[in-house]
Amino acid sequence: MLLDFLKGPARKARALYVLGDLFEVWIGDDAPLPPALEVASALRELADAGVEIGFVVGNRDFLVGEDYCSHAGMQLFEEPVQIFHQGHRLVLLHGDVLCTDDKDYQQFRAKVRDPAWQTKMLAKPAWLRRQLARFARFISKQKNRGKPESIMDVNAASVQQTMDKLAAGNLIHGHTHRPAIHRIISNNNNSLRAVLGDWHEDQGSAICIHDGQLELLDLVRKSSGKLEVVTRDSETLCSG
């Protein structure tokens, strides 16, 4: 699905931003699995076709570094990323930083995003990093089973604080796998929060910004094998 998207609909874009979790797990640029090389090749072809590509790490691939991004023709960004479209400010995040009700996860996030921790982890042999990643994923699944869904969603106050701090009227993120466009009314001001869905073999999720509009798109592979792009929802961008 992803490769078809990069070779098809993405070619029509001026710029593409990947908001993390491009991979289920990433143990370092020195130990990519075969699919990562194929993805890098497709991304490089897209970049060579004139599409600017930006990348923000997610909670599963936070060790993606400059080497892989350079190979794939992407620019590695620190979040929050701010872009402008026809006078509208948009903030791009992976989204996990907004899930502040999940205290355990935020402690884990702070640890693994620490440069000193990452340097220490990347110094370990690849086979050990792979084992540690599998164990961490197992523990994460076990912990998440007992958590209320609301805790693993974004915190409304954190969303508003982020948008107020950056004076932005539009926020786009992933992470929660709950695709939707939310209109927020606060202090007589309107703003938008758009959430990307996840990707599977036969479906995907994307957001398109054009002509002052934000469109949430579903990508579906039909029985014929053709990739179909369907608009799930659309809103006019908010000022800010």
220, 203 Cβ separation under 8 angstroms: yes
Please report whether residue 134 resides in a domain: yes
51-84 burial, b at 16+ Cβ within 10 Å, e below that, comes to bebbbbbbbbbbbbbeebbebbbbebbebbbebe
Look up the pTM and report it: 0.93
User: Residue 203 falls within a domain, yes or no?
Assistant: no
d(CA 175, CA 12): 25
Q: Cα(156)–Cα(79) distance, rounded to whole angstroms?
A: 19
Residue 176 inside a domain? The answer is: no
Residue 26: inside a domain: yes
pLDDT of residue 223: 81
Domain assignment of residue 1, given as a range: 1-78+102-149
Residue 208 lies in a domain: no
Q: Is residue 18 part of a domain?
A: yes
User: Is 175 among the domain residues?
Assistant: no
Q: How many domains does the chain have?
A: 1
In a domain, 55, yes or no: yes
Low-confidence spans in the chain with pLDDT less than 50: none
DSSP run (H or E) holding 90: strand 88-92
CB 46 within 8 A of CB 11: yes
Query: What's the pLDDT at 188?
Result: 64
